[in-house]
Amino acid sequence: MNDSPGWATPGSPSDGQGSEADRPAAPPAADGKWSAAQPPPGQWSSPGTTPPPAPAPAPTPPAPPSRPAGWGSYDSASQPARQQPGPPYGYPGAPGGWAGPPPAAKPGVIPLRPLGLGEILDGAVSTLRGHWRSVLSVSLVVAALCQIGLLFVQRATVDSALLSTGRRPTDAELADQLGNTAFLYGAQYFLEALGLFLVTALLAPVVSSAVLGRTSTVSGTLKAVRPLAPRMIGLIAVLVLGALAAAFVPALPGILTGNVTAAALGVPVGLVLLAWFYVTFVLAPPALMLERGSVTDALKRSAKLVRGSWWRIFGISMLTWVLRTITAGIIVMPFAGIALFLAPGGFSGLLDGTAATSWTFLIITALGGIIGSAVTVPMQTGVTTLLYVDQRIRREALDLELARAAGQDGAGPVTGG
């Protein structure tokens, strides 16, 4: 017997349901005693009456309109998408069943979801291959200007940067030699970084079009870049000067005082500061060109997007740089062989340094450098822009906006990273 109210549902055969006074009386048996066969509780009716009809079931509310699995709900006021709770992929009853999640939408060179290393590299190469007219037109002009400037710097400083083998130099001469060499490589890095940042900014609209699966033209690219040209120049100046300061300021006291030990100790410190500066602000050029903010906004935007992913961006950028350097070296190698064959003194001139000072050697190797840079620099800049897109997808659900812009809202779900 259960005497606690609320435990048994109405009409259930539990003991203690209602009171004896409320229970309808059962008809007695012919002998005046109660019949052993009793109707089930809740089905008693008065003699001679028809039982009332059962109440109609409540109408089932209509099911909400379905959305593609994985997209989640999206707040139009620039809020990121929230995934609806449910069983994970790969379990019975989950979206996709045992087959796993359906593929993400891919209107262009990358799928619209968080990217892996292979997808970033493939997207950069696909951009170069599919938009080669716009990409090579920009990179060839920038590479030619940078190589011409480097050619004159090499011709003016290579004599002072060569070590003399006739006698052992003094500490002061070593310090001067180190300073001249630092100036030569600093100028080379200045021009290379200038070209890299400039091509990254100029090709950011091209990579953006490639992500959306749209075509691009040289005139359209220049039209998109022209209003931002002053800010772009200012940003590149800040980045190049900041990189040079990070690399050479630690070794500068030793160079100025003639202390070789202090200068040598400053070199690794400068390399560490240079790596930190480059990775922290490497996303500033695409941020400026695609978000159209100020120089300060672009620098802050890059630092914010890189925060928490510094080592990942550093690793991908370093790997891309290694691949680009190897590819450029393979392209330049035949030109260096031709230059060595035509330069005065031949191989012996290369050993004593006289070949490196001849215009023949410098011009031919500069031609190889132009071709190598024009082909390989867009790969590095494409990776940088795709890293910017990837970071915004991971943190701001940019994939939803890209899918809308590409007209593929329902083309496929965006899987989580």
- pLDDT tens digit string along 176-206? 666 667 777 777 878 888 899 999 999 999 9
pLDDT of residue 101: 61
Write down the domain spans for the chain. Answer: 125-405
Full DSSP string of 309-347: -HHHHHHHHHHHHHHHHHHHHHHHHHHHHHHHHHSTTHH
Q: In b/e form, how buried is each residue of 10-44, taking b as 16+ CB within 10 angstroms? A: eeeeeeebeeeeeeeeeeeeeeeeeeeeeeeeeee
Q: Which residues of the chain have pLDDT under 70?
A: 1-102, 158-180, 345-356, 408-417
Q: What is the pLDDT of residue 266?
A: 86
At residue 105, the pLDDT reads: 85
Q: What is the pTM of this model?
A: 0.70
* pLDDT at res. 323: 94
pLDDT at 238: 95
